[in-house]
Structure 1
Amino acid sequence: DMLAELTNNPPPPPSPMRTAVRRVKIYTPLVALLILVLGIVQLVRPLPAPKLVMTAKSSFNFAGDKPSLAWPAEGQAAVAAAGLGTLGTYGDQKPVPIASVTKSMTAYIILRDHPIKKGEKGAMIDVDKTAETEGKKNNSTDNESTLDTVREGEKISEYDAIAALMIPSANNIARLLARWDSGGDQEAFVKKMNDTAKELGMTNTTYTDPSGLDATTVSTAEDQVKLGLKLVEIETLLDITKKPKWTDPSGKTWDNWNRLVPYNDSLGIKTGTTTKAGGNLLWAAQKKIGNTNQLIVGATLAQHKPSIIDTVIAASKQLMISSQKALTGEVVVKKGDVVGYVDDGVGGKTPVVATGDVQAIGWPSLTVAVKLGDGGNKIPESAKAGTEIGMLTVGEGASQVKVPVALQRDLVAPGIGSKLTRVG
C-alpha cells in the first residue's frame, strides 16, 4: 500500500491467495530461525548418562521343601549360612548359661577394636600379677581352665592371647584382655560386651564376665549365631580356631577343646562346659560350591548328657554335616545369556551378556536376590563388543557370586538424528 502511494499505482485488490503468500513470506524465516535454534540446543545440551537396565529375573527360588537338619536330642541349637540367612532353629530359644562360649564375644571385641594385620602378631600385652596368680588355678579344684605359663613382667602378643582364649580356653587371659582393653576396668569391658550384643541384635543375651565362668552370663543359640556370623569375617580368628593344637610362647602345647577341627571342613569356634551350663559349642564350617567358599555358623547349647563335652561335640558334628549337605548350587544364568542392556537415554539399547555361568548358592525353598550393577564404574558412551560393562551378582555377603557382564555388540554413541529427536 505504501509502495502504491509512492508510485501513484493503486494496490492490487486483496485476495485470500495474496494474504496467504504474504504470511508465508513473513513467517517462514521466523520458523526457520526457530528450528535452527532448537536444533542447536538439542545438539549441544548434555546427553543423559548411560545406565544399565536388568532384564533377567531379580530373584531365584530353589525348588523343594526346606531341609530337615540333624538337630540334637536336647537343649537348643541354631544354624545360619553367611549371606543367606537362617537354615533353622531347634528348642526353646530362652537364655541359658553358655560357659566359655562367652570368650567368643571377648575375642570379637578385642579383634574389632585392635585388629591384627595378616601375618603379624598384633600388640604386645603386659602380663600382670593377677594373670600369673589366676594362671595357677586349675580345672579340678577351681573349675578354671587357665594358661599357667604366663609370668608377671613378661609380654604376650595379642595373637597368642587370643589363641590362649580360644584353644585352651584360658580364663586368666580372658580377664587380662578385658583389663588391657579397658584400662584396667574389667567391669567397663563387660559393659562393652553387653553394648555390642545389643548392636548385633542379641536381644536374649546378658554378659556378666569376660570368661563365662559366671553362670549369670546367659544367651541363646540364635543369639550366638548372630555373633558367629561376625566372627567368621575375621580371618585372624579363624586362623586360630581351626588349629587342632597350639604351642604357647613358652613352648607348651595345648589341645583345642573343639575336637571337630580339623575334620569335615570345620573352622572352630569355641566350646564352653560347666556342670550348670552343660556342653555348649559355637561352631563354624565351610563348603566349597563352585568358586565360592560358603561359610556356615551354628550353635549347640545346654547338652547335659555325660560326658557333656563329648555330647556337645557329637551333636554339633551331626548338625554341621547335615547343614553342609543341605547347601547346594544351581546355575541360574548361563554364559552368553542376555541379562540386560545399556540404555543411552535417547532410545538406544545395547544388550549385555553374562561372561560366565552364574551359580546361586542356597538350599531348597530359599529365594536369593539377583542384581545387575555397574560395579561403581562409569559406563562409557561408546565401547567395543565384549567390553566388560558391569557385574551380575547373586546372593549377599560371603555367599555372593559375581560374574562380569559384557557388551553383546558395539556400544555406539548417539548420532545427530538421535540427539535432534530426543525428548526430555
Structure 2
Amino acid sequence: TNTPPPPPTPLRTTLRRIRIWTPLVLLLLIVFAIAQMVRPLPAPALKLSAAPTFTFEGGELKMPWPGEGQGAVEVEGVGSMGAYGPQKPAPIASVTKTMTAYVILRDHPLKGKQTGPEIEIDKKAADQGKAEHESTAAVEEGQTYSEKELLQLLMIPSANNVARLLARWDAGSEAAFVEKMNAAADELGMTQSTYTDPSGLLDSTVSTPKDQLKLAKAVMQYDVFREIVNLPEVNIDGIPDTIYNNNNILLKPGVGGIKTGSSTPAGGNLLWSANTVVDGKNRRILGIVMGAKDAKLLNDKLQLSIDYSYELIKRAQKDVTSAAVVRKGQVVGYVDDGLGGKTPVVATKELKAVGWPGLQVKLELADGGKAVPHTGRTGDVVGQVSIGTGAGKVSSPVALQSDLAEPGFDKKLTRVG
C-alpha cells in the first residue's frame, strides 16, 4: 500500500527549501569565487606620499625692476623669475629680427661648421644699404655671402636691408615671409604678437615680453645662433670695416646676446641671455627689457635698456641656486595595487632643484613610460621622481623599499567594482 506523505508543516517546508537551494547557492558562490580569481587585477599605480611642493629659503625674490617700460625674466626649464610693467603688445623695433633669424634657421638649419648656401645680393638690398635713416650693411649688388654671414649682418649690425633680402630669398617676397613669421609665432604660442615686416622698422610690428621669451627659448636651441649673437664684433669678407655689436655688456661675466632694438615708438629694447653655474652646470637665464624711454637721444634710450638688463642679469646670476629636495633613500611614495596594498618606493639618489628665494617647485612621481609591475623585488626600479620641465628637469629613479606581491586571495575575493 502507498503511504501518504506526512502532512506539510512549516518546518518540513523550510527543510525542503534548504535542500533544494543550498546546492544552487554553493554553486553560485563557487562560480563567483572563480570569477573573482580570474578577473584581471587593477593596474598598479605610483602615488606620491612626500610633500608635493618645496619652497626655497631666503624669503621673497626682489628683482631690480626698472621704473618704466615692461619686461620679464625666466630661467630656462625652471620658470619665471617675474615680470614688470603692463605686459601689453608694444613695438619691438629690431628685436623683430630674432624671429627673422628663427624662421631662416628653422627652414635652412646650419650644423657644426656649416655656413649654408651662397646668397647673391640683389639690387634692392644694395640700394637699401645706402639708406641714411635706418641701420644697414654696405653690401654691393652681385656680391655673394653665405647664409651664416648674412645672419651675422642681420643680428650684429642689425641690417634692415639684409633682413629684407633674407625674407625674399626664403619666401620669394617680403609679404610671404611675414606670413611665415606670424605662422611661427602662432606655433610658439605667441598669442599677443603681430609681425608686419622682417626688420622691425614698422611700429605695427608688436609683441610682449612673455611672447619674446617664448621665441628666445626656441631660437637659442640653435648652436649657430648662440655663436652669432654672443659675438661682440665680427669681420666679414666684402664688408670694409670691423662690425661692432652695440650690446656693450657682452664681455661681462656670463652675459650673452640676443638682440637690441630701438626706435622712437619702441624706445630702447634688449632681448638677452645669460648663464650662471649651479652645481657645476650652466643654467640659461633669458630676459627682456622693453620701452626704455627716460632719455632724450635714441642711443641713450637703447643704453638705458642695456643698463637695466645688466642689473637684472647680475641679480638673477646671484640668486639662482640649488637645494636638495629629495634625499637618497627617502620614501617618496608607494605602489598602490588597487586593492588596498601599498608598497613604499624610495629615491635612489639625491634630487636637487634649481631655483631662487621664495620659488615653490612641484614634485612629480611617474612610471617613466613603463607600466608599474604587479610583483617585484626589493630594489627594483619602478618609476621616477622629478622636478622641473624641459632643459631644467631633474629626475631620480625610484625603487621598491620591500618586495611587491600580488594581492592575496582574500583581497581578490572581496574586491568590488
TM bracket (short chain): 0.7 to 0.9
1:152 is matched with 142
Is 1:348 paired with 2:341? yes
Output the CA distance in 2 between the equivalents of 1:25 and 1:290.
Answer: 79
Q: CA shift at 1:282, angstroms?
A: 0.5
Is 1:171 paired with 2:144? no
Q: Which amino acid aligns with 1:61?
A: T
Output the CA distance in 2 between the equivalents of 1:217 and 1:12.
Answer: 105
Superimposed CA distance per residue, residues 83-142 of structure 1 (whole angstroms, 9 cap, x where no aligned partner): 444433344556554332110121222234x1626426375253241366157537xx45
Q: CA shift at 1:199, angstroms?
A: 5.8
Output the CA distance in 2 between the equivalents of 1:22 and 1:117.
Answer: 91
| Structure 1 residues 403 and 122: alpha-carbon distance in aligned structure 2, compared to 1, 3 A threshold | farther
2:397 is matched with 404
Is 1:380 paired with 2:373? yes
2:413 is matched with 420
2:74 is matched with 80
Superimposed CA distance per residue, residues 275-331 of structure 1 (whole angstroms, 9 cap, x where no aligned partner): 665532110123333476543221123445465354433332111111222333332
Whether the aligned pair in 1 keeps the contact of 2:366 and 2:383 (CA below 8 Å) is: yes
For residues 17-416 of structure 1, what are the structure 2 equivalents within 5 Å?
Answer: 22-62=16-56, 65-72=59-66, 74-91=68-85, 93=87, 97-112=91-106, 114=107, 116=109, 118-119=111-112, 121=114, 124=117, 126-130=119-123, 133-134=126-127, 136-137=129-130, 141-146=132-137, 148=139, 152=142, 154=144, 156-157=146-147, 159-183=148-172, 185-197=173-185, 202=190, 205-246=193-234, 248=236, 254-274=243-263, 277-290=266-279, 293-303=282-292, 305=295, 308=300, 310-416=303-409
Output the CA distance in 1 between the equivalents of 2:315 and 2:385.
Answer: 30
Output the CA distance in 2 between the equivalents of 1:194 and 1:85.
Answer: 25
Q: Which amino acid aligns with 2:387?
A: V
TM-score (norm 2): 0.83
| Structure 1 residues 38 and 321: alpha-carbon distance in aligned structure 2, compared to 1, 3 A threshold | same
RMSD: 3.5
Output the CA distance in 1 between the equivalents of 2:123 and 2:260.
Answer: 24
Superimposed CA distance per residue, residues 189-223 of structure 1 (whole angstroms, 9 cap, x where no aligned partner): 22443454466565665433211234554445454
Superimposed CA distance per residue, residues 358-414 of structure 1 (whole angstroms, 9 cap, x where no aligned partner): 333333343332221112211222222222211222233333322222111122233
Deviates more, 1:196-205 or 1:309-318: 196-205
Superimposed CA distance per residue, residues 142-172 of structure 1 (whole angstroms, 9 cap, x where no aligned partner): 5323263x76374623x44333322332323
Q: Which amino acid aligns with 1:406?
A: A
Whether the aligned pair in 2 keeps the contact of 1:137 and 1:144 (CA below 8 Å) is: no
Whether the aligned pair in 2 keeps the contact of 1:264 and 1:321 (CA below 8 Å) is: no
Output the CA distance in 2 between the equivalents of 1:93 and 1:385.
Answer: 52
Deviates more, 1:82-91 or 1:246-255: 246-255
Q: Which amino acid aligns with 1:152?
A: G
| Structure 1 residues 145 and 153: alpha-carbon distance in aligned structure 2, compared to 1, 3 A threshold | closer
Output the CA distance in 2 between the equivalents of 1:242 and 1:291.
Answer: 21
Output the CA distance in 2 between the equivalents of 1:367 and 1:145.
Answer: 46
Whether the aligned pair in 1 keeps the contact of 2:125 and 2:162 (CA below 8 Å) is: no
For structure 2, list consecutive stretches of 5 or more residues without a partner in the other structure: none
Output the CA distance in 2 between the equivalents of 1:225 and 1:181.
Answer: 24
Superimposed CA distance per residue, residues 43-77 of structure 1 (whole angstroms, 9 cap, x where no aligned partner): 22222221112222333334555322223465443
| Structure 1 residues 51 and 287: alpha-carbon distance in aligned structure 2, compared to 1, 3 A threshold | same
Output the CA distance in 2 between the equivalents of 1:26 and 1:262.
Answer: 96
| Structure 1 residues 134 and 54: alpha-carbon distance in aligned structure 2, compared to 1, 3 A threshold | farther
Whether the aligned pair in 1 keeps the contact of 2:134 and 2:160 (CA below 8 Å) is: no
| Structure 1 residues 48 and 248: alpha-carbon distance in aligned structure 2, compared to 1, 3 A threshold | farther
Whether the aligned pair in 1 keeps the contact of 2:362 and 2:388 (CA below 8 Å) is: yes
Deviates more, 1:202-211 or 1:341-350: 202-211
Q: Which amino acid aligns with 1:213?
A: L
Identity rate, percent: 46
Deviates more, 1:261-270 or 1:196-205: 196-205
For structure 1, list consecutive stretches of 5 or more residues without a partner in the other structure: none
Output the CA distance in 2 between the equivalents of 1:134 and 1:406.
Answer: 68
Q: CA shift at 1:270, angstroms?
A: 0.9
Tell me, what secondary structure is at the counterpart of 1:317?
A: helix
Q: CA shift at 1:246, angstroms?
A: 4.4
Q: Which amino acid aligns with 2:33?
A: G
